[in-house]
A and B are shown apart, each in its own frame.
Chain A
Amino acid sequence: MHYPWWYIPFLTSPMLIAIIAVLHVLIAHYAVGGGLFLAVETQYAYRQNHREYLAYLREHARFFILITVVYGAITGIGIWWTIGVASPLATQTLIHIFVFGWAMEYVFFVLEIVSAFIFFYFWGRLDPKTHMRVGWIYAGSAWMSLVIITGITAFMLNSGRWPEDRTFWAGFLNPQFVPQVLARTGGAFLLASLYVYLHATFKAKDPTLRDLIAARSARPALLGSILITLGGIGWYLTLPESSRAALAVASTLNILVVLLFAITIAVFFMLYLGPYRNPGWLSPGFALLFFTFGLAAITTGEYIREAVRKPYIIYNVVLGNQIYAEKVPELRRRGYLEGGTWTKAWVSHHYPQVVNNGRIDPARLLMLPEDDQVKLGEVLFLYHCNNCHAGQRGFSAVGQLLRGWTPEMVRTVVRHPERAHFFMPPWAGTPEEAELLTKYLLRIALPRPGGMYLGDGQ
């Protein structure tokens, strides 16, 4: 409400975050797990004086740097870029609470970059002991950056004691912190192994070496699976009640949870039967399938993690439509259009007749011609609802959702969306504004689909 709302037709701007975030997560977990893989395995290869394995690891380090340093860094910044324009109030709030968390993460980023480049570009030029230490510096820094960013993202799902005492540590050490660190660390182990399998099946030509890689990478992957399971249980147990309810009630989430379980179990079995028991099974096709399953599991998990937070961006603090939860009563009193910096400016510019003593008079809104009321309803829709709903067509489009609704049904839901669905934000405007939004929604609602036989011919 303090900022303009960026309108993206069909997709809605928050969905843009999801796209970039998923891409980043797939790379960022590899950046952590892959770093640990390289540190552990380089140490092993040096100690065994296994030259072929060292040569392979060097080749893998090149691939690793290309993927993580280039695309990991860019997509990571991409998320930040996108949340700033799609969820500015939530971003502003997170930055003001956790700026030093990000600054600490930045220190680890720089360490990651420097150590990664030294590890790869000075391979063979540093003595093995120093080389291994540099690898461990990378691995430690990458894991620390995971820990720090998880503290911040976990806070978004369960803000814990922060609304009461408002300190950095109350927010950072939230109930979701430890479970999510466990799950993400496990995800990093597992995903890194899948990247290794994929890379090794194409690059390691010697079957003995390939078997060695498969067998050695199976252990961290299985450990990762255990951590994911433990973290997942902890995640569920520390979910806010509404998030658990959302998991139970939303059919899309039901399907995704089942899908997530199915894929995860498939990955566990494939890991055990394939690389762990029968390393020779690992072929490019098997690795590719494995990798795809891993990506699908992580993508599904991330989607669920994001979706159960509704109606909040930051649980109990910032609602999806970019208002502080604590401001809802005030907005109901003053009006949503009056309370928003840009909505007020827009109304004052286009409809100065509704402004009285510098304030928007809700009663005057309903005196405007019908078309103008609908236009104001559109403003309310964009600033209040477009975070989750496209207009007539697109992502969760209200025009489709309201097919066949009567005006009274629409009016009732507009006035109390949180009662119709607990995962929707409450109405944060005056009754007059609710009427404007109702009129707009009725204008864009599509008719009930025809041709439906309901027994009585109605």
Chain B
Amino acid sequence: MDPTTLIGPSSPLGYPAPYWFIVALKVLGFTLHMVPMHLWYTGILLAMLLYWRGGEEARRLSRRLTWPMPIVIALGINFGIVPLLFTQVAYYKVFYPATILMAWPWVSIIALLALAYSGVYIFVAGLRSEETPLARWRQAVGWITAALFLLIGFFFSNAFSLMTNVRAWPDLWLHKSIGGAPLGTALNTGDPTLWPRWLMMLALALTTTAAFIVVDAQWFASREGAEYRAVARRIAFGISTLGVLGFAITGSWYVFGTWPEDLRAEMLRSPWRVLMGLTAISPGVPWLLILWQWRRGGTRARAAATALAQSLVLAFNAISRQIVQNAELRPFLDVTTEPVHIQWSPLFLFLLLFTLGLGLIAWMLSKLQASAKTSESG
């Protein structure tokens, strides 16, 4: 069966904004989403490992990683709405079929997330007292929560790799359907790109968590001693090294081991060659900064530079993923040629509200800062 026949017609409504605008918001949203998502993706697992095997300072770090998780998850879920929304605007022809083919795992993400989020609260509640050790059952909940987040990530990788793996649709559909209606039980595990993609995100998440640890140690851990900060930087360096190595291995596996020849040739040709190069080497910059801080001591400026460098790593990654996504889809679909009917007034109203919203958030944060200064001076 020709998989192209499974791609439906264009929406008569067209895009409500130019493609570049939609895709820019999608990429920006995904970059923002990756920050908190990475923290819960590997942060819980690392917190469990540090609590399980670490010494006193490592346990303190475990606590510091876990305490903000309820807020991090809430923000991450909300930031995730943006890329998903704009994916559905521009990639609806492939997004819906892919998620319908694997509807049960896809829908189960909601239940898994509810369980994992509850698990985080249970785990965090157990860490309130520094003197009392974490009860065993709470530790068990922590491990289960970490596993649930990994499973959620696996399902996400399945959905987004299946979205571009149109060639696999006929087989998955014909083998798992009744009367032409999918049972929704398929997974994209036959796709060689799935595994490196999933693991690459995991490795990248380690580098984000490492950056978070040094930022937290320098900016927010004012009540902790110098020894804690030194241990945090050392552990962050270990995590970052693991992440960078993992990223290099899985990235090479993904590009050189799973991409078709024509895709690789396209992506390694100008102008994308520069972007690919930056994406590949950029995780080295925060790694070097963390190494520097481990060896020479941390400062707020160095930690801020690490955060900035890691943000660029994530931005390069999101842009590259976008380019690759379009290139993978090109044999089946060109998302840039859809008709456009711009909704000017809702678009401007959104931008206005967005600006006002940012202003309000900035005002609230400024009040927090003022209250922190007052309590410090008091």
Q: Kindly state the separation between the CA atoms of A124 and B40 in the bound complex, as whole angstroms.
A: 28
Q: Kindly state the separation between the CA atoms of A381 and B349 in the bound complex, as whole angstroms.
A: 44
Q: Kindly state the separation between the CA atoms of A118 and B114 in the bound complex, as whole angstroms.
A: 23
Cβ–Cβ contact B85 & A103, under 8 A = yes
The reply to whether the CB of A153 lies closer than 8 angstroms to some CB of chain B is no
Q: Kindly state the separation between the CA atoms of A110 and B367 in the bound complex, as whole angstroms.
A: 18
Given contacts A109-B78, A122-B371, is CB(A6)–CB(B182) below 8 Å? yes
Cβ–Cβ contact B6 & A341, under 8 A = yes
CB-CB under 8 A from B189, the residues of chain A are none
Contact of A91 among B86, B96, B109, B170 (CB under 8 A): B96
The reply to whether the CB of B271 lies closer than 8 angstroms to some CB of chain A is no
Cβ–Cβ contact A100 & B9, under 8 A = no
Contact of A113 among B15, B78, B92, B121 (CB under 8 A): B78
The reply to whether the CB of B7 lies closer than 8 angstroms to some CB of chain A is yes
Q: Kindly state the separation between the CA atoms of A400 and B125 in the bound complex, as whole angstroms.
A: 51
Cβ–Cβ contact B6 & A345, under 8 A = yes
The reply to whether the CB of B8 lies closer than 8 angstroms to some CB of chain A is yes
Interface centre among A77, A82, A125, A342 (most CB of B within 10 A): A342
The reply to whether the CB of B110 lies closer than 8 angstroms to some CB of chain A is yes
The reply to whether the CB of A408 lies closer than 8 angstroms to some CB of chain B is no
Stretch at the interface among A63-71, A225-233, A242-250: A63-71
Given contacts A70-B121, A96-B11, is CB(A85)–CB(B96) below 8 Å? yes
Number of residues in A with C-beta < 8 Å to the partner?
77
Q: Kindly state the separation between the CA atoms of A111 and B349 in the bound complex, as whole angstroms.
A: 16
The reply to whether the CB of A261 lies closer than 8 angstroms to some CB of chain B is no
Q: Kindly state the separation between the CA atoms of A114 and B96 in the bound complex, as whole angstroms.
A: 31
Q: Kindly state the separation between the CA atoms of A446 and B109 in the bound complex, as whole angstroms.
A: 37
Stretch at the interface among A126-134, A209-217, A284-292: A126-134
CB-CB under 8 A from A107, the residues of chain B are 350, 353-354, 357
CB-CB under 8 A from B368, the residues of chain A are 118, 122, 126
Nearest opposing residue in chain A for B79, CB measure: A110
Q: Kindly state the separation between the CA atoms of A102 and B83 in the bound complex, as whole angstroms.
A: 12
Nearest opposing residue in chain B for A346, CB measure: B180
Cβ–Cβ contact B181 & A6, under 8 A = yes
The reply to whether the CB of A37 lies closer than 8 angstroms to some CB of chain B is no
The reply to whether the CB of A15 lies closer than 8 angstroms to some CB of chain B is no
In angstroms, how far is the closest chain A Cβ from the Cβ of B35?
14
The reply to whether the CB of B129 lies closer than 8 angstroms to some CB of chain A is no
Cβ–Cβ contact B85 & A106, under 8 A = yes
Cβ–Cβ contact A108 & B100, under 8 A = no
CB-CB under 8 A from A121, the residues of chain B are 71
Given contacts A91-B96, A99-B16, A342-B6, is CB(A84)–CB(B88) below 8 Å? yes
Cβ–Cβ contact B92 & A95, under 8 A = yes
Chain B 158-191 interface mask (CB, 8 Å, partner A; 1/0): 0000000000001001100111111110000000
The reply to whether the CB of B360 lies closer than 8 angstroms to some CB of chain A is yes
Cβ–Cβ contact A88 & B11, under 8 A = no
The reply to whether the CB of A16 lies closer than 8 angstroms to some CB of chain B is yes
Nearest opposing residue in chain A for B375, CB measure: A125
Contact of A81 among B11, B109, B372 (CB under 8 A): B109
The reply to whether the CB of B51 lies closer than 8 angstroms to some CB of chain A is no
Nearest opposing residue in chain A for B184, CB measure: A6
The reply to whether the CB of A7 lies closer than 8 angstroms to some CB of chain B is yes
Given contacts A109-B78, A348-B5, is CB(A93)–CB(B16) below 8 Å? no
Q: Kindly state the separation between the CA atoms of A108 and B178 in the bound complex, as whole angstroms.
A: 42
Chain B 62-97 interface mask (CB, 8 Å, partner A; 1/0): 000000001100110110111011101100110111
Contact of A85 among B7, B82, B99, B361 (CB under 8 A): B99
Nearest opposing residue in chain A for B116, CB measure: A74
The reply to whether the CB of A272 lies closer than 8 angstroms to some CB of chain B is no
A window 56-88: CB within 8 A of B: 66, 69-71, 73-75, 77-78, 80-82, 84-85, 88
Contact of A88 among B12, B96, B364 (CB under 8 A): B96
Cβ–Cβ contact B106 & A85, under 8 A = yes
The reply to whether the CB of A386 lies closer than 8 angstroms to some CB of chain B is yes
Stretch at the interface among B143-151, B278-286, B318-326, B339-347: B339-347
Chain A 123-154 interface mask (CB, 8 Å, partner B; 1/0): 00111001000100100000000000000000
- 24 of the cross-chain contacts (CB-CB < 8 Å) are A2-B9, A3-B100, A6-B100, A7-B179, A69-B74, A70-B117, A73-B74, A77-B81, A84-B96, A85-B99, A96-B13, A99-B85, A100-B349, A106-B81, A107-B353, A110-B75, A110-B361, A113-B74, A113-B75, A114-B361, A125-B372, A126-B367, A126-B368, A383-B181
Q: A4-B100, A96-B16, A168-B16 are in contact. List 19 more A-B contacts (CB 8 A).
A: A3-B100, A4-B182, A5-B182, A7-B181, A70-B70, A82-B110, A96-B13, A96-B14, A99-B17, A100-B343, A100-B346, A107-B354, A111-B361, A114-B364, A126-B368, A341-B5, A349-B1, A382-B178, A382-B179
A interface residues, Cβ below 8 angstroms from B: 1-8, 13, 16, 20, 66, 69-71, 73-75, 77-78, 80-82, 84-85, 88, 91-93, 95-97, 99-104, 106-111, 113-115, 117-118, 121-122, 125-127, 130, 134, 137, 166-169, 324, 341-346, 348-349, 375, 378-379, 381-383, 386
